[in-house]
Amino acid sequence: MLSVERGKPVHCVEMVTGKNLTGTLVLSDERICAQIYSYDDFFQIDGELPIILRSETNDIVTLHSNLTTVPGTTFRSEPPRRTFRQDITSYLAVVGHDPWTAEDRIKRVTFRVKHSQKLMRHEAKMKAIGRSRFPDEEHLTIFTDRAEGLTLKAGYSATYGMEFDAPRDLWLVFEIEFDEPRRIEEYILHVWDYVGFLSFCLGTKLKPSEIRVDRLSTEEIKFAFQKNQTYFGDHAVHYIWPDAEVDAHDFWLGGAPVHSWDDNELSSLRACLVVWMNRATRWKKCYALMTTSFGLKNVISVERLINACRWFEDTPIAQSKDALSDDDIDAISDTATQKALELGYPPRICKRIKGAIKRIKAETAKERFTRLLGMIEMKFGTGILPKDAVEHLERATQFRGKIAHSHFTPKNDTEARAFLKSTLAMEALCYLLLALDLPIPEPGIKRIAANPSVRDYRLAYD
């Protein structure tokens, strides 16, 4: 087990200059930083390369994505003494039995997600685990599935006391194994995609924690244990990710489109997760904007409306369609041009006529919202959004236009309510468009109206 305590300064020695300079290291959700000292000579640690430290607990800490200062100097003249100090601030730290270099690749990552327990609680498996001190692997495993280039897993881990067969502590572990090993900067994008799916189910912002990465696959780890006992363990990864306040009432599963309480529901959750991960490359901006939107849930601001509008514009299936075909544009342009010439207008007006007609080629905002709402109602039923949803969505684009051209502050309570209602309408539309292509079962289709992203819009005052 790693013993670098989060948030507590620990003594360390650097392993990059060859001088064994010492200092202090702090790893926490708010900061990852080190201060290195020299009591003899000037030194300079290159922050563009991974910085390797050995802590007082004998863990090896590798700092990546670093920002360093030029070593400052303090001195006194009598007797002459000088101390040099360099500050290092990092975005991520990898802690383990050896350094994690820029050349190392990740084959497997495990992580936990706070507040996901109810979503991933399978009743039959939980009962089996509670009845035995040594539960079967099938009960500890929630699922193993394949997506494009990935193996996705979820399961339970437990600790037991001496007095009872029931577990003393039970927690969820999620896992991704990569067909092609990933760099330390790359793997986390897939973790966020996975966590994003869990956030989507609950309609609230979640984040990964207790992340651990490994150079070996599951099979290679088993081989190392069985054959030569050379497996020294995985590495912990720390990021600057402060915990955010999460509203507990948003974790009611009555609004989750899929969950894992029984085999049927679990099967649907697995199918949706695979689709979610397979389309992640094309939908990545959309996923990120969804997470940002969930994080702004308790904020009423122009930033939240702008984010909602960007979420809509970056949703692949929400793209505008042509109201007129190219052939129709040409036919109308030719007719209008011929009429203009008959009326005595000069030939140069022909290009202007065709350009003007092209501008009406795309569907209007109202036509676009009406079409998308129709698609949503075909899957989730008439009335999933209020009957005046198109009006609220159009109003959201109008507010967006005002924000783009000047500072915007609601002039009264009525406009403030309209602003919030329009923001919530755009977020609800985007959420349902995210769900549109997922294989959500009939019970989930009925539940989705109670998801916070849809519910908040339905209940908001206009």
Does 374 fall in a domain?
yes
Query: Which whole-number Å values give the CA distances from 60 to 25, 93, 104, 383, in the listed order?
Result: 12, 10, 15, 57
> What is the C-alpha to C-alpha distance for residues 253 and 459, in angstroms, rounded to an integer?
18
- Tens digit of pLDDT for each residue in 362-408? 688 999 999 999 999 999 999 999 999 999 999 999 999 989 877 88
C-alpha count within 13 angstroms, C-beta hemisphere, residue 399: 31
Mean pLDDT of 281-306: 95
Task: Pull the structure tokens for residue 59.
Answer: 């863990």
Q: Is the pLDDT of residue 275 over 60?
A: yes
- Tens digit of pLDDT for each residue in 402-459? 898 778 888 899 999 999 999 999 999 999 999 999 999 999 999 999 999 999 999 9
Structure confidence at residue 204 as a pLDDT band (50, 70, 90): very high
Task: Pull the structure tokens for residue 32.
Answer: 């990852």
**90 and 48 fall within a common domain:** yes
Tell how far CA 171 is from the center of its chain: 21
- The residue from 71, 95, 119 where one domain ends is 95
Nearest to 203 by CA among 428, 422, 439: 428
> What is the C-alpha to C-alpha distance for residues 404 and 332, in angstroms, rounded to an integer?
34
* 17-28 as b/e: b if 16+ CB within 10 A: eeeebbbebbbe
**400 and 347 fall within a common domain:** no
pLDDT score for 161: 67
What is the number of domains present in the chain?
4
Domain of 354 in residue numbering reads as 326-358
Between 41-55, 80-94, 335-349, the lowest mean confidence (pLDDT) is in 335-349
**402 and 455 fall within a common domain:** yes
The percent of residues in the chain predicted with pLDDT above 90, rounded, is 68
- Whether omega before 79 lies within 30 degrees of 0, making that bond cis, reads yes
**230 and 81 fall within a common domain:** no
Task: Pull the structure tokens for residue 187.
Answer: 């793997």
pLDDT score for 70: 85
Does 53 fall in a domain?
yes
Structure confidence at residue 359 as a pLDDT band (50, 70, 90): low
pLDDT score for 1: 47
Mean pLDDT of the chain: 90
- Tens digit of pLDDT for each residue in 77-129? 677 788 999 999 999 999 999 999 999 999 999 999 999 999 999 999 988 88
Does 100 fall in a domain?
no
The pTM assigned to this predicted structure is 0.89
**287 and 183 fall within a common domain:** no
pLDDT score for 81: 82
Mean pLDDT of 333-360: 72
Whether 160 and 122 have beta carbons less than 8 Å apart is answered as no
> What is the C-alpha to C-alpha distance for residues 69 and 45, in angstroms, rounded to an integer?
9
Does 20 fall in a domain?
yes
Does 228 fall in a domain?
yes
* 40-69 as b/e: b if 16+ CB within 10 A: eeebebebeebbbbbbeeebbbbbbbbebe
Q: Is the pLDDT of residue 329 over 70?
A: no
Whether 65 and 4 have beta carbons less than 8 Å apart is answered as no
pLDDT score for 357: 64
**121 and 161 fall within a common domain:** yes
**114 and 156 fall within a common domain:** yes
**74 and 177 fall within a common domain:** no
Does 290 fall in a domain?
yes
Does 152 fall in a domain?
yes
pLDDT score for 152: 98
**247 and 291 fall within a common domain:** no
Q: Is the pLDDT of residue 280 over 50?
A: yes
Mean pLDDT of 231-251: 80
Single-letter code of the amino acid located at 443: P
**26 and 61 fall within a common domain:** yes
Burial (Cβ within 10 Å: 0-12, 13-18, ≥19) of residue 434: buried
Nearest to 110 by CA among 49, 159, 152: 152
**377 and 453 fall within a common domain:** yes
> What is the C-alpha to C-alpha distance for residues 348 and 137, in angstroms, rounded to an integer?
78
- The residue from 262, 278, 294 where one domain ends is 278
Does 243 fall in a domain?
yes
The pairing of beta strand 141-147 with beta strand 150-160: antiparallel
**289 and 438 fall within a common domain:** yes
